[in-house]
Amino acid sequence: MDPGEPLESGGASGAAPVGTDRVVRVDAGEWGWTWAADADGRLHQVGLGPEGARAPVEVDPVWYPDAHPTWGGADPLRPPALRITHADGTTTTRLRLDRVERQSVGDDETVSVCAFDEVFNLRVRFHARTHRASGVLEQWVEIDHDEDGPVTLWDHDSIAPTFLVGPDAAITQFGGAGWADEWAWTTERLTPGTKVLDSLGGIQPHLQRAPVLLLEPNGPTDEESGDVVGCSIAWGGNTRFALDVRPRANEELRDLRVRAGANPLGAHYVLEAGDRFVSPTVAWTWAQGRQQLSDRFHRWTRDRVLRDPGRTRPIVVNNWESTFFDFDEARIIGLIDRAADLGADLFLLDDGWFGTTHPRDDDDAGLGDWDVDRRKLPGGLEVLVRSAEARGIRFGIWVEPEMVNPDSDLFEAHPDWVIRDGREPRLHRNQLALDPLLAEVRDFEVGVVDRVLAAAEGATYLKWDANRPVTDPGSRALPTDRQSNAWVDWVHATWDVMARVARAHPATEMMLCASGGGRTDHGTLRWFHEFWTSDNTDPVTRVRMQWACGHWLPMSATAAHVTAWGGRPLPFACAVALSARFGFDLDLDALDADGLAVCRRAVACARRTQDLVQHGRLRRLVSPVDGDRSRAALAFVSDDRGRAVVFAYQLEESTTEAPAIRMDGLDRDAAYTATVTDLTADPVELGPFTGAALADGVLGWNLTEPTSTRIVELVRSDAADPPGGGPGGVSRSATGTAP
């Protein structure tokens, strides 16, 4: 219980609430925000940003607008973050501070601001949980009531902070045209008015827009400097960022209100007395420079989100792009052999292995029937698992437990298990989604994974896919006047299934996939080890996608497989996949000797560098999303600065002068040996170079051909040998000049 304390320096300046007498400070580590209750218990934001946990700043918004526009007198009309129709039909809410609770765990604390409506029996709790090791703050809202009937939540945002922004304030959103265009990078200047960035479809909304937002309140930033706010809605359903920009009279500065949470469009929530609405958690930070933003999100994702974050992820060989549905036992065993020959860690059998009365020979049948198709695989999954084990590699298996083809035994037995409204449900990829609000469906989905892992006894990896959005929303688990609740309840029900699966199979590594990167949010990822970034594996596009999603997620979780997509040179495709969680989805049987040699070099490189890529510090050096977008360079540096790997990519023809690669994060005085390869030949040793020379750009660009690459490994002279025994077959450069 926080008894409240007087505001420092005589209260907020400008149009601060008169009579402010109680403050709540949340110190997120190098930034924070401060709320204050005025004498009547009305809550205001009085500080936000680097100084926000200490000093008030000149903003005076109601900190969580509750649909009472004249509140406090000085507040402009605002779109509400919380909009409720109460049981008696009243459409406004007036919250007052009740108490503040603080709960500490180690260095961190959860601050809960408890408020209540001044007339109705309705309570709102605002929770803020710090993660000071990273500087990311998690916030969510809980609402309950004892009114004389249900209340309707029309808007139910998780946060609604207000920023004072400059005329060049900008936002970046991450989403493109849908399938195969995830993580497209769009930056725009903020102008007065309301801008809504939302997503729909429930099951794979991130195909439209990843639920993250980058805000530069004072204009463009770079890696090292400038105010940058990053915000992630940890929600496996539809999300909304609503940005409301208000000019100030005779000032360049503007007020920006950012509301973030579950998208309420079509998803107003009818809350019974005694029930509790829990909003998505929004994780956010205020950083100086984009490097710090990523450092923070990576650290927080590792500490609070991913399963087994310290475990180095395997080199995966997947069969999807090489076989699609068309394979048999001999073909798969052949691919397992090739994967083992190459030195991969794991073979992943994708879609198409199941369906008996309705064989899964295409995407139009069999989904839901999780028995092995013995026509294709007469020895069952066991034979494949044993074959992988005999070759010393692991086995993984694909499932899509939330879905069904109408052409399946499951649908014939349970046509009423699907998500649908009063119409005939529309097919998407010839399939329907099962309704997880039905307890029998949740049990079935958990059972699918149990059954499949039992049939593939010894399998240690599972790819969880979901290949359609919700288009005809409805659930027979809900009464007719509660149908809109489904959008929120489906997320919790699906998470319940995923949590049960993760608990039942703690040793199984799990990949999250939804038609590519349709599910990559920090909420759903809690039950997974990694995600499938996109079905688009054209390495030119992938460089930009991985660049974008690397702002929020560590590369240990970002799966990247070498494929034939785009017909790019194999060394280039390998080099792009090597800068994330590396694997192949290539017809290994079809490789000629040169191709095989390139893949072998790539696997050897992965062995030497995967600990850096997955657990080291990402440094972005040359951007493929700014300027002429023709080049990219990024590096990963070990915590002790003893080792690093640099990836440089010439993506397209350049129209600008080549940049130097200015290596960041090394010891300036130490000497580093450098080995360089483009994967067409074994690495060549160069240098040594001092950390200072590397920082000053001694590594020239030296790439001109589109889709060419260079990988430079740096080892400080006193550092231990890298894993994998050092670059095999290293030869000394004839000239000894910089690569």
Q: In angstroms, what is the minimal distance from the CB of 610 to ligand DGJ?
A: 21
Q: In angstroms, what is the minimal distance from the CB of 539 to ligand DGJ?
A: 16
Which residues on adjacent β-strands are paired with residue 103? 110
535 binds ligand DGJ (CB under 6 A): yes
Scanning residues 390 to 419, which ones bind ligand DGJ (CB under 6 A)?
Answer: 398
Torsion angle of C-alpha atoms 488, 494, 497, 498, degrees rounded to 10: -120
How many residues touch ligand DGJ (CB under 6 A)? Answer: 11
Q: In angstroms, what is the minimal distance from the CB of 224 to ligand DGJ?
A: 36
Nearest-angstrom CA–CA distance, 525 and 307? 8
Neighbours of 310 (CB within 10 A): 9
> In a 3-state reduction of DSSP, which class is residue 62?
strand
Q: In angstroms, what is the minimal distance from the CB of 369 to ligand DGJ?
A: 15
Q: Which of 513, 612, 644, 703 binds ligand DGJ (CB under 6 A)?
A: 513
Scanning residues 687 to 726, which ones bind ligand DGJ (CB under 6 A)?
Answer: none
Q: Which of 263, 292, 460, 467 binds ligand DGJ (CB under 6 A)?
A: 467
Scanning residues 307 to 346, which ones bind ligand DGJ (CB under 6 A)?
Answer: 320
Q: In angstroms, what is the minimal distance from the CB of 19 to ligand DGJ?
A: 57
The shares of helix, strand and coil residues in the chain, as percent rounded to the nearest 5, are: 20, 30, 45
Mark the segment that binds ligand DGJ (CB under 6 A) among 68-76, 257-265, 439-447, 509-517. 509-517
> The tokens of 17 are what?
């609430």
Nearest-angstrom CA–CA distance, 678 and 683? 8
Q: In angstroms, what is the minimal distance from the CB of 345 to ligand DGJ?
A: 18
User: Tokens 């479809």 correspond to what residue?
Assistant: 201
Nearest-angstrom CA–CA distance, 679 and 29? 43
Q: Who's near 567: CB < 8 A, 6+ residues apart? A: none
261 binds ligand DGJ (CB under 6 A): no
Nearer to ligand DGJ by C-beta: 66 or 182? Answer: 182
Q: In angstroms, what is the minimal distance from the CB of 391 to ligand DGJ?
A: 23
Nearest-angstrom CA–CA distance, 723 and 642? 13
For the chain, how far is it from start to end, CA to CA, in angstroms? 61
For the purposes of burial, counting CB atoms within 10 Å of the CB of 103, is it exposed (0-12), middle (13-18) or buried (19 or more)? exposed
For the purposes of burial, counting CB atoms within 10 Å of the CB of 690, is it exposed (0-12), middle (13-18) or buried (19 or more)? middle
515 binds ligand DGJ (CB under 6 A): yes
Mark the segment that binds ligand DGJ (CB under 6 A) among 54-62, 479-487, 510-518, 631-639. 510-518
Q: In angstroms, what is the minimal distance from the CB of 466 to ligand DGJ?
A: 9
Q: In angstroms, what is the minimal distance from the CB of 542 to ligand DGJ?
A: 14
Mark the segment that binds ligand DGJ (CB under 6 A) among 252-260, 512-520, 547-555, 562-570. 512-520
Nearer to ligand DGJ by C-beta: 326 or 481? Answer: 326
Q: Which amino acid is at 178?
A: G
Q: Which of 144, 337, 465, 530 binds ligand DGJ (CB under 6 A)?
A: 465
Mark the segment that binds ligand DGJ (CB under 6 A) among 2-10, 218-226, 511-519, 538-546. 511-519
494 binds ligand DGJ (CB under 6 A): no
Whole-number Cα distances in Å, 612 to 109, 268, 603, 708? 32, 45, 15, 22
Where along the sequence are the contacts to ligand DGJ (CB under 6 A)? 320, 350-351, 398, 465, 467, 513, 515-516, 532, 535
